[in-house]
Amino acid sequence: MSDIIRLLPDHVANQIAAGEVVQRPASVVKELLENSVDAGATRITLVVKDAGRTLIQVIDDGKGMSPTDARLCWERHATSKISQADDLLAVRTKGFRGEALASIAAIAQVELRTRPASDELGTRVVIEGSRVKLQEATACAAGSSIAVKNLFFNVPARRQFLKSDTVELKHVIDEFQRVALAHPDVAFDLLHNDQEVHRMPASQERQRIVHVFGRKYDERLVPVDEHTDFVGVRGFVGKPEFAKRTRGEQFFFVNQRFIRSGYLEHAVRSAYDELLARDSHPSWFLFLSIDPAQIDINIHPTKTEIKFRDDRTVYAIVHAAVRRALGRHNITPSLDFEPEPAIMAAFAGMPSVPAVAPVTPAPVDRGAPAWRPHELGRPTAPTGWQQLFDLPDNAPVRQHDEQLPGQAPTEQVLPMREREERGGRAVFQLQGRYILAQLRSGFVVVDQQRAHERIVYEQALRTLEKSSGPSQALLFPVTIEPNAADHALLLAVMPELKALGFDLEPLSGRSIAVNGMPAESANDDPTSLLEALLEQVKHERGQLKAERHATLARGLARSMARGEGAPLNEAGMHDLIDRLFACEMPYFSPTGKPVLITYGLKELDERFDR
């Protein structure tokens, strides 16, 4: 039998490894920025063209590399961070696996220019598909500059899987912001297609958050600061009144490394119990400091997942730190201001006993899917709305004639035609939330807010299809300045927003003037309405045109729908019901929840044992 096992060539092995490390341009951005941070840079500039497809360049003023290191760093498992397995227990650098640069070089054309401050000349290395094409001495600034060109040039199938420039740029900005938030003491700049997106000087954590997400966040943040012998927790959480309906700015950093953790997320969310509605999501920016020996970061090549050796204690301390922060700043008077047992135990060096027994994190709410009629099945409510409301000719209908002072209104039996002319269908509002209306065979209960959501949703869809929604000019135009990611997203969906009736005018920098609003929302706050729409788009991220239209329509519906407790007069209730019945799908809200429930006379008779 002939031998069939063979060693793969290095360039093939590197391409395979690149599939784990480099999924998209944002992956390259993350690895290069973290290398610059590890090199001790005080200023880092990221230059991107065509959302990273054409160019990703990172320039830093770090310590640079010698000619030998400039060549060796592109080999697999070549690293300056560790030298033996035991070093993994004390890793504080971002990188240590020695895979990132080799993976990047395997699927791109790369040029490195680097010089230590002590040398007069630097080194230039050109690599293409893992093969070194050139190495020479060159004059360059101290530090390093790595230019990654034509990503996936030799793996066209991978390149075809990239999304639109808008989506890829959003991911690039996300990765840039995570590294910038983790290292406020480093100055960061971001340019895309020669346009400045971010310019952030070295600052403190709060200032960096404000630089990234806007000045409005300065008033929304509550500081968190707890230190124990086991773990330190500092940073900021958002005030409950500024929570959003969709997930937004939620960041955990462990030893200045961005991580994702559903376990820690549950610890923070549970600290907001009784302060937030179940479908609201607060913001948080929490920095955990812990002995590297107490965590394992060597789980995945992206290093965004870690394991804690004593996760129960970490859970309890994070939960207690957030509770105490909210209590200190009088968010709620019912919080316990006494030190938590877990914190006191950590201070005393006692065995850790979590004050709050961790529970399994609740399933993450991914949001309702786009409405697809074929998945809803047959409606359970009756069809034929005209017949549904045709009351028997002898049914009593509320008829208000002129009454003497103090006299109760009388109910009269009117012929059907006269009842219709007078709008005699009996309706009334219950607790400002539900509308009850009489049917031929019983009555129907309509959820007021969901009904209005369905109406606005279908109207917005029709408007987007026609690309000509009515707009109401604002007497005093409003200027908004979204953060970089929201600005890029806003420009991407601007044609749809204009079709909905928004009159938007890009100004210099990230400023955008709102000159007009959709006619029905002219009285709403432009900033809040646009923020809600962008949050909906970010949450669902539909790529197809129809999905994007549905996402925007859902966001507009949720923002404009009459809230619970909004009083309606009889004419308003009739109008809402009539508009609901005119919808294509009146049974369900845009998020798939029931809008109305019918009760038949037979059911009522059974309940009354008749």
Dihedral pair phi/psi, residue 114, rounded to 5°: -150, 150
End-to-end CA gap in the chain:
87
Q: List the beta strands (DSSP E) in 13-160.
A: 43-49, 55-60, 109-115, 122-128, 131-138, 143-149
* Structure-model confidence comparison of residues 463 and 50, the more confident one: 50
Can you give the pLDDT at residue 599? 84
Q: What stretches of 363-521 show up as alpha helix (H) in DSSP? A: 373-376, 385-388, 416-421, 448-466, 484-492, 494-500
- Is residue 62 a contact partner of residue 40, using CB atoms and an 8 Å limit? yes
Residue 25 DSSP SS3: helix
Residue 315 DSSP SS3: helix
Q: Distance between CA 456 and CA 533 in Å, rounded? A: 14
Can you give the pLDDT at residue 59? 97
Residue 138's beta-bridge partner residues? 122
CA 310, 314, 319: angle at the middle one, nearest 5?
A: 150
Dihedral pair phi/psi, residue 229, rounded to 5°: -70, -20
- pLDDT higher than threshold 50 for residue 281: yes
Where does 10-200 sit in CATH, by number? Answer: 3.30.565.10
Can you give the pLDDT at residue 20? 61
CA 383, 387, 389: angle at the middle one, nearest 5?
A: 100
Residue 33: which pLDDT band, with cuts at 50, 70 and 90?
Answer: very high
Can you give the pLDDT at residue 413? 36
Can you give the pLDDT at residue 457? 85
Can you give the pLDDT at residue 398? 39
- Is residue 288 a contact partner of residue 268, using CB atoms and an 8 Å limit? no
Can you give the pLDDT at residue 462? 82
The first and second tokens of residue 299, run together, are 């789980």
Residue 572: which pLDDT band, with cuts at 50, 70 and 90?
Answer: confident
Task: State the average pLDDT over residues 12-24.
Answer: 69
Can you give the pLDDT at residue 125? 96
CA dihedral 68, 137, 150, 195 (to 10 degrees): 120
- pLDDT higher than threshold 60 for residue 335: no
* Structure-model confidence comparison of residues 404 and 447, the more confident one: 447
CATH architecture for segment(s) 205-348: 2-Layer Sandwich (3.30)
Can you give the pLDDT at residue 124? 97
Residue 563: which pLDDT band, with cuts at 50, 70 and 90?
Answer: low
Kindly report which listed range (64-78, 532-546, 589-603) carries the lowest average pLDDT score: 532-546
Q: CA neighbours within 13 Å on the CB side: how many for 113?
A: 13
pLDDT in tens, 114-162: 999 999 999 999 999 889 999 999 999 999 999 999 999 888 888 888 8
- pLDDT higher than threshold 60 for residue 394: no
Can you give the pLDDT at residue 403? 37
Pairing between strand 284-290 and 231-238? antiparallel
* Structure-model confidence comparison of residues 484 and 389, the more confident one: 484
* Structure-model confidence comparison of residues 162 and 520, the more confident one: 162
- Is residue 248 a contact partner of residue 265, using CB atoms and an 8 Å limit? no
- pLDDT higher than threshold 90 for residue 223: yes
Q: Distance between CA 481 and CA 493 in Å, rounded? A: 16
Where does 369-400+409-610 sit in CATH, by number? Answer: 3.30.1540.20
Can you give the pLDDT at residue 556? 74
Can you give the pLDDT at residue 373? 31
Residue 22: which pLDDT band, with cuts at 50, 70 and 90?
Answer: confident
Overall residue count recorded for the chain in this entry: 610
Can you give the pLDDT at residue 412? 38
pTM comes to: 0.64
Residue 416: which pLDDT band, with cuts at 50, 70 and 90?
Answer: very low
How many Å is the Cα radius of gyration of the chain? 30
The first and second tokens of residue 380, run together, are 């359970």
Residues in CB range of 307: below 8 A, 6 or more apart: 295, 296, 299
pLDDT in tens, 72-113: 998 877 777 655 565 556 666 775 666 889 889 999 999 999
Task: State the average pLDDT over residues 359-376.
Answer: 37
Pairing between strand 43-49 and 187-192? parallel
Task: State the average pLDDT over residues 575-579.
Answer: 86
Q: Which helix (H) or strand (E) holds 66?
A: none
Domain residue spans of the chain? 10-200, 205-348, 369-400+409-610
Residue 284: which pLDDT band, with cuts at 50, 70 and 90?
Answer: very high
Q: Distance between CA 600 and CA 439 in Å, rounded? A: 9
Residues in CB range of 197: below 8 A, 6 or more apart: 173, 190, 191, 484, 487, 488
Cα dist from 561 to 250, 321, 449, 554, 576, whole Å: 27, 37, 6, 10, 11
Residues in CB range of 198: below 8 A, 6 or more apart: 176, 177, 180, 188, 189, 190, 211, 212, 484
Residue 36 carries which side chain, given as an amino acid letter? S
pLDDT in tens, 306-331: 888 898 999 999 999 998 998 887 55
Residue 127 carries which side chain, given as an amino acid letter? I
To the nearest whole percent, how much of the chain has pLDDT over 70?
74
* DSSP label of 90: G
Residue 489 carries which side chain, given as an amino acid letter? L
Average pLDDT, the chain: 78
Q: Distance between CA 205 and CA 210 in Å, rounded? A: 9
Can you give the pLDDT at residue 264? 93
Dihedral pair phi/psi, residue 539, rounded to 5°: -70, -40
Q: Distance between CA 610 and CA 316 in Å, rounded? A: 57
Residue 546: which pLDDT band, with cuts at 50, 70 and 90?
Answer: low
Residues in CB range of 159: below 8 A, 6 or more apart: 53, 151, 152, 153
* Structure-model confidence comparison of residues 175 and 9, the more confident one: 175
To the nearest whole percent, how much of the chain has pLDDT over 90?
31
- pLDDT higher than threshold 50 for residue 24: yes
- pLDDT higher than threshold 60 for residue 473: yes
* DSSP label of 218: G
